[in-house]
Structure 1
């Protein structure tokens, strides 16, 4: 069953049940109220009749009953044997309505010859001093006709309301199911075309259906990004691994031809294969690191003083770089909530990049302001051309490919650093003057501190 049909049937059924319950309750409440009101009126008539009998000893009981006779009914006196002693009536047909004696007051509704009557009886003292029942009987066909008309009014009103509710629920079902239909259509389109389509949100409401569409769009955005990252990773890997694999394959073919006969070719081939294999290993590690850096491990973040971490990193790298690395910081304590390994990785990438393209000393500066923590790494190297500065953070981009191969660069380091910094809600910038050096500046917001 379609959701729209289910909504229409379920809402209509629920509303029909509620209408039936409400109308039935109103009908019986009104019916009982009318009958009870009439019984109270007749009881008051009998009480006044009794008072009149007790106060007017000169009048006979029949005369008093005649005086209090109602317009469409009968007043009678019934003895202990349920026999009628005296009765006055406006219609002789009423005389045959069965009488019954009771020691207590009672009210009832009886049917006689397809007519409805209300009977009210109270005990009193008769003319001979014995206990008798004084009963009033009234024809209430008019009331029951009104009640019967009311019943049909409820029936017709219920039918009309059900029709209106059916149309309304159908319209409501269309409104509710429309975003779901769009979602289904969008998913079908994605399945057929293999594209990443999104649901168009035409109004800015905060209902559940809009939230569902927004959640779907966010999910599609994440899937698209994940797919593009995967595609980019495969493209990067295939592009960068193609050259060393070609070199290795070429030298393997040379070895097969002349490797056993010419030692110089054997030595050259072994050296080149080892060099290209090492480069492939390094490149693979960098690509995997870049893929892993897309996920920030929030649970491993902790609040630490970054000054000792920076000092320790500089000390370790200075032994390998054989460059002088100077740290400049006016503070001895700068606390940040960071993933320590990722933070150290950013420092290593920036310092390694400075070392590759500079033979002079390297400067690291730490500054803390009210809103941010700033880390800058400055080298006195060859600098970066203006036209290349906008691309240095792109994957596998190298300003000087020949020089990069000599220094072992893969074009992935700065891209990795940029991803890690963005995971910390920070950003990285570059200032470079060709021939005079470059400064990479990392800014972390104080919210992370």
Structure 2
């Protein structure tokens, strides 16, 4: 069953039940009040009749009195205590009441009874008769006319309910169409997207705060996100295939060259082996970076432990000096020299080292001058309510910053945000052999920083150099002190 049919059916049934319940309550309340009113009226009339008959019983025969006070549709009778010598008079339409059993009532009684499938109001009033005996003056009056009124009321309520169900049925149909319209539009749009392969948007109605407008807006936002991710994925696949095709082509070319001339040209053999080895290493690094970027952070198996930033930086300085013969200058904030325990943070040592290596490697590739590593403290905003007060610097929240500064070619301001995209290069004309890399390093560094709760930002001026600033959160637990001058 379709959702529109369900809405139509459920709303119609709900409103039908609501109308029937309401009308039933109205009928029960009205009929109860009407019957109680009739009972009160007959009871009051019987009291007056009993008083009048008692006063006139001396001068007027009892039979004449009964005929004078008999109801239009009913019966009046006098019942003695013994239940005998009963006098009664019935109206012409209620002769069957004469057969009703006689019962003497010691107390005043008023009730609604059913006799011969008809309902009556029965009232019995005890009075002292002219001979000194206590007798009951009993009046039984038919409720036929009241029953006809209630029957007419039932018919009217049923007709009103039936007529009211017509607009309810139509409104349920309209309501179902209104609710389903944006869902149907989304379904149709999805079918068009699947058929055409092009991302489409819903036509937005005027701004509103209802859920249907929010659903349409959410769908369009989702389409924007999917299209953006699709474009990035397409670009990524294109770039990845291009980047992987290049080393494979080089390897294949040199392998073919070796196959043809390698035995006769020793110098060509050395060149080919070196090129194949270099491209194989670059392709291996690129593949590892791609695989790591494809994983979720939960799959990186982070190991959080106390890490000394100075020791990590000094180790990388020694490795770069040995491998690339590049001088790296270390600078330490005076505050860190005074409080060397601030150099220790809780993080993953391997991932931190990988981040720093990526940033240092970029500085090495795009500059020929010395590289600078600065270890500093970045103080955050002081806690609220502390303005104008002197505070201990250690009490103010702070981050540890690692700045890697080079004096190379720099990055134009328009490209600063783009360099973190996969395979992005500021200068597409730059020969890859001059710099190496695959355009994945900064992307991977940012992903690692996000996993560690850190942040990376770049400050650069084209032609003057670049500063990569790695901001690490403050350690949350007291850790052992380390000397800032340790090697």
Measured against the shorter chain, the TM-score band is: 0.7 to 0.9
Does structure 2 conserve the Cα–Cα contact (< 8 Å) formed by 1:233 and 1:287? no
Decide whether the 8 Å contact of 1:103 with 1:123 is kept in 2. Answer: no
Q: 1:383 aligns with which of 401, 409, 412?
A: 409
1:97 partner SS: helix
Corresponding residue for residue 349 of structure 1: 358
The residue number in structure 1 matching 2:3 is: 3
In the alignment, what sits opposite 2:368?
358
Moved more, 355-364 or 425-434: 425-434
1:327 alignment partner, SS class: strand
CA contact (8 A) 2:359 2:404 kept: no
- How far off its partner does 1:318 sit? 0.7
Kindly indicate whether residue 311 of structure 2 is the aligned counterpart of residue 312 of structure 1.
Answer: yes
Aligned partner (choices 381, 406, 409) of residue 437 of structure 2? 409
1:187 aligns with 2:194: no
Q: 1:32-47 maps to which residues of 2 (within 5 A)?
A: 32-47=32-47
Determine the C-alpha separation between the residues in 2 that align with 1:269 and 1:317.
31
Shift of 1:229: 4.0
Q: Deviations over 1:225-252 (max 9, x none)?
A: 5434432332222111222111111122
Query: What CA deviation, in whole Å up to 9, does each residue of 1:242-268 have, x standing for no partner?
Result: 221111111222222223344333333
Q: Residue 152 of structure 1 corresponds to which residue in structure 2?
A: 155
The root-mean-square deviation of aligned C-alpha atoms, in Å, is: 4.1
Query: Contact 1:81–1:101 at 8 Å: present in 2 too?
Result: no
User: How many angstroms apart in 1 are the aligned matches of 2:250 and 2:219?
Assistant: 47
* Residue pair 2:330, 2:373 contacting (<8 A) in 1 also: yes
Distance 1:240 1:140, change over 3 A: same
User: What is the TM-score with the length of structure 1 in the denominator?
Assistant: 0.80
Instruction: Answer whether contact 2:310 2:343 (CA < 8 A) is retained.
Output: no
Q: For residue 208 of structure 1, report the CA deviation from its aligned partner.
A: 4.3
* Structure 1 residues 185 and 67, CA gap change in structure 2 (3 angstroms): same
Count the aligned residue pairs: 441
SS in structure 2 at match of 1:326: strand
Q: Which stretch of structure 1 is more off in the superposition, 326-335 or 270-279?
A: 326-335
Q: Within 5 Å, which residues of 2 pair with 1:31-430?
A: 31-52=31-52, 58-60=58-60, 61-62=62-63, 65=66, 68-70=69-71, 73-78=74-79, 85-88=86-89, 91-98=91-98, 99-104=100-105, 105=109, 107-109=111-113, 117-122=120-125, 133-217=136-220, 219-292=222-295, 295-297=296-298, 309-322=308-321, 323-329=327-333, 330-331=335-336, 332=339, 333=342, 342-356=351-365, 357-371=367-381, 373=399, 375=401, 377-384=403-410, 386=412, 389-390=415-416, 392-396=419-423, 397=425, 399=427, 404-420=432-448, 424=453, 426=455, 428-430=457-459
Residue 303 (structure 1) shift: 9.2
Q: TM-score, normalising length from structure 2?
A: 0.75
Is the deviation greater in 437-446 or in 154-163? 437-446
Question: What is the deviation of 1:438?
Answer: 2.3
Equivalent pair of 1:384/1:399 in contact (CA under 8 Å):
no
In structure 2, relative to structure 1, the CA distance for the partners of 1:393 and 1:22 (3 Å cut) is closer
Counterpart CA distance in 2 for 1:165 and 1:11 is 8
Unaligned runs of 5+ in 1: none
Within the candidate set 436, 449, 460, 1:431 is matched to 460
